[in-house]
Amino acid sequence: MHTRTLGTGQHQLRVSAIGLGCMGLSYAYGPAVEKAQGVALIRAAYEKGVTFFDTAESYGPFANEELVGEALAPIRDRVVIATKFGFRGGKPPEGMDSRPENIRAVADASLKRLRTDRIDLFYQHRVDPNVPIEEVASTVKDLIRAGKVKHFGLSEAGVGTLRRAHAVQPVTALQSEYSLWWREPEKDLLPTLEELGIGFVPFSPLGRGFLTGAISQSTAFDPKDFRASLPRFAPDAMKANQSLVDQLTRVAKQRNATPAQIALAWLLAQKPWIAPIPGTTKLHRLEENLAAASVSLSPSDLASIESALAGVAVQGERYPPHLQQQVGR
């Protein structure tokens, strides 16, 4: 697989064009997979060209970092590991905690769980309204000087916060949701990232699975599946949004590809500094997703996709109100 560069100058980070979001192996989308299965999937991703792996202390909490650490230990020096800090006790329901002392404690604990001596990319998971972003950036800067962290990242941050953080410690990457059914970043975020030379790591690039065509209004989610609480996955919203998948499927058939592959190829075609991180628990889905790196969309293909989707208005909010308040700060 070809690689892409996040960040600029001495803050550049080379990653595979498509990474692996590891969250779903342990957290959020139903029961966790067996450890051996998770290790096998992560190692299969590496064997197929993935060098960029995304986790967080809060995925579990802690279990996902431990899984990623075990899986990647034999090949540690050949991969990029991204993890995150910012929730009290690693538990999102307990609220934010980006106090400097907590950032330092999370870094040390994550290093142990990941079985490594450095974190390649350390994201603030959500912007903490109680801690100035300058303090957060300065703390990560100290961790970089100490050799415990290589690069600083933000997740779901707004443009103003991004600029303030970048002025203290250059930000290598921003991680936020971006896909054919969530294009809000195109308004202000992408132009700012381009201006500042910051890479973009879209999570949920397949719309939390909806853009694959494998989910419909009749889908019954596991009680532990985070999607059951999201307005966009309410039956009425999914019924309305099916037209987006139908149009995407039509384009995919014309290209002899799957809807997921077109959705990922579309993301890759937007900017050369975008590296999406689709997640999966299944080997055949992993192979399908990674094949998208070989799907080249021409300007006419991209225009066709834009035209096909122009009349589709996506229904439903990304998050319920209490989670929506945590993004875009």
**Residues in contact with 172: Cβ distance below 8 Å, sequence separation at least 6, in sequence order:** 6, 7, 11, 12, 13, 121, 151, 152, 153, 198, 199
Does residue 46 carry a catalytic annotation? no
d(CA 266, CA 297): 7
Written as one letter, the residue type at 42 is: I
- Judging by DSSP bridges, how do beta strands 20-21 and 52-54 pair with one another? parallel
For residue 3, which phi and psi values (nearest 5 degrees)? -115, 165
DSSP labels, 101-120: HHHHHHHHHHHHHTTSS-BS
- CA of 36: how far to CAs of 25, 44, 46, 47, 67, in Å? 11, 12, 16, 16, 9
If we measure between CA atoms, which residue out of 275, 296, 289 comes closest to residue 80?
A: 275
**CB-CB contact of 116 with 69 (8 Å):** yes
- Tokens 């002392």 correspond to 101
Which one is catalytic: 27, 46, 59, 123?
A: 59
Residue 193 tokens, joined: 């990232």
Written as one letter, the residue type at 156 is: E
Catalytic positions, please? Answer: 59
